[in-house]
Amino acid sequence: MGQLHLNKVTKSFGEIDVINGVTLDVKDGEFVVFVGPSGCGKSTLLRIIAGLEDATEGGIVIDGVKVNDLAPVKRGIAMVFQSYALYPHMSVFENIAFPLRVEKMPEADLKKKVESVAAVLKLDQRLQQRPGSLSGGQRQRVAIGRAIVREPKIFLFDEPLSNLDAALRADMRIELTKLHHDLAATMIYVTHDQIEAMTMADRIVVLNGGYISQVGKPLELYHKPQNKFVASFIGNPKMNFLPATCIAAKPEGVTVVCEGQTVTIPVEPRDGLTGEKLTLGIRPEHITLGAGDVKFDIVPSVVERLGVNTIVYASASGDAPFSAAFAGAAAVTVDTPATISFNAADCHLFDDKGEALERRTDLHEIDLEALNAV
């Protein structure tokens, strides 16, 4: 069992508030990813759960027991550090065996356990080597081995893949997902990499400035971001934001004027919207060349050809750079104006506070349950 409940957890370092009241429930066996930009408090929150930092206020409850004053080992958690934190003077065997040595497990049991963990992580050939002679991926596996050998209730990962190169990171991502499936343990994973979050998480917690911006399944965050921050954080390249003015809010949607064109976007209307300045959000991958509901010209300044798609950067009427991703090899060249368009159904609308008007996308249409069965 590994349920975690955070109840209005706050953390201040002197005058600076790092965590501003986080309330969160993590179910047993769930893979939850904390994601956010640097300094958003995600690592601090993880360290509070681990017991390496005290919460200034609020309760941390694991399996119904308040653990605020318990040492990490008593909380039933194990942690994998960003820097691996392997003991360089010990062999791989001793590194993995360390938590068992601490609890003075008999030698025979210890050996059996370490060897079974090593087999799971494909480290059985490396047990007598020192961490210094291992590759980055192997070191990472030793660090994970040290965490799973104790069979904790909850695993905590602090940006475990950020020191690996891109190819290895993709491999380890798959291995971690498999490991989560095999162990069926609760895992909490901190990363700044939205790809890691999207690919591994059952649920993503987006943190911004010590607040939870949104909690949801990966595709929920992608299709129904609750605010501009989540909308721009999830997705690569970032969502484009264009200024728009509301001229009508009717049951079928909100009608805005954007780039001089009138378009009705299918979002939940709200009273008092008419005349308001809004922000229209459109993801680069939803922009196409040619005709659509909203159509305008851009002058590409940079064109990136990735094979699978072509990414175009240009300056638009908004202050932020405008980007578009076209499938395959699109016929665009730098400094040659191109006509692009997008459809009203793909648009997001945000009010002046950055809060989203809920889109009428039915998440069942994209079969979320099948994609993300917990």
Question: What are the residues binding other proteins (CB under 8 A)?
Answer: 50-52, 71-73, 77-79, 81-89, 98-99, 102-103, 130-134, 136, 139, 146, 150, 163
Q: Which is nearer to other proteins, 84 or 229 (CB)?
A: 84
Strand 348-350, strand 277-282: pairing: antiparallel
For other proteins, the closer of residues 99 and 269 by Cβ is: 99
CB of 106 to other proteins, least distance (A): 17
Name every residue whose Cβ is closer than 8 Å to that of residue 367 and which is 6 or more positions away in sequence. Answer: none
d(CA 175, CA 183): 12
In one-letter notation, the amino acid at residue 322 is: F
C-alpha angle 79-85-86 in degrees, rounded to nearest 5: 110
Task: Show the tokens assigned to 252.
Answer: 């079928």
Q: Which is nearer to other proteins, 144 or 204 (CB)?
A: 144
DSSP state letters, 282-335: E-GGG-EES--SEEEEE-EEEEEE-SSEEEEEEE-SSSSEEEEEEESS-S--TT
Q: Specify the residue, 82 or 232, whose C-beta has the smaller distance to other proteins.
A: 82
- Going by their DSSP bridges, the two strands 211-216 and 203-208 should be labelled as antiparallel
Taking the complex as a whole, the smallest distance from the CB of residue 102 to other proteins amounts, in Å, to 5
**Nearer to other proteins (CB atom), residue 32 or residue 154:** 154
Spatial CA neighbour of 122 closest among 172, 161, 88, 76: 172
Q: Shortest approach of other proteins to residue 357 CB, angstroms?
A: 44
For 98-157, the three-class secondary structure string (H helix, E strand, C coil) is HHHHHCCCCHHHHHHHHHHHHHHCCCCCCCCCCHHHCCHHHHHHHHHHHHHCCCCCEEEE
| Shortest distance (Å) from residue 136 CB to other proteins | 8
Nearer to other proteins (CB atom), residue 172 or residue 256? 172
Whole-number minimum distance, CB 99 to other proteins, in Å? 4
In whole angstroms, the minimum distance from the beta carbon of 146 to other proteins comes to 7
Place of tokens 């356990």: 113
Q: Which is nearer to other proteins, 95 or 213 (CB)?
A: 95
**Amino acid letter, residue 237:** P
> In the bound complex, what is the minimum distance in angstroms from residue 80's beta carbon to other proteins?
9
Residue 171 Cβ, how far from other proteins at the closest point, in Å? Answer: 18
For residue 303, the Cα-to-chain-centroid distance in whole angstroms is 27
By beta-carbon proximity to other proteins, the closer residue of 51 and 253 is 51
146 or 348: whose CB is closer to other proteins?
146
Alpha-carbon gap, residue 169 to 76, rounded angstroms: 27
Taking the complex as a whole, how short is the minimal distance between the CB of residue 149 and other proteins, in angstroms? 9
**What pairing do the DSSP bridges indicate for beta strands 321-327 and 309-315?**
antiparallel
Q: Is the dihedral of CA 331, 334, 340, 342 positive or negative?
A: positive
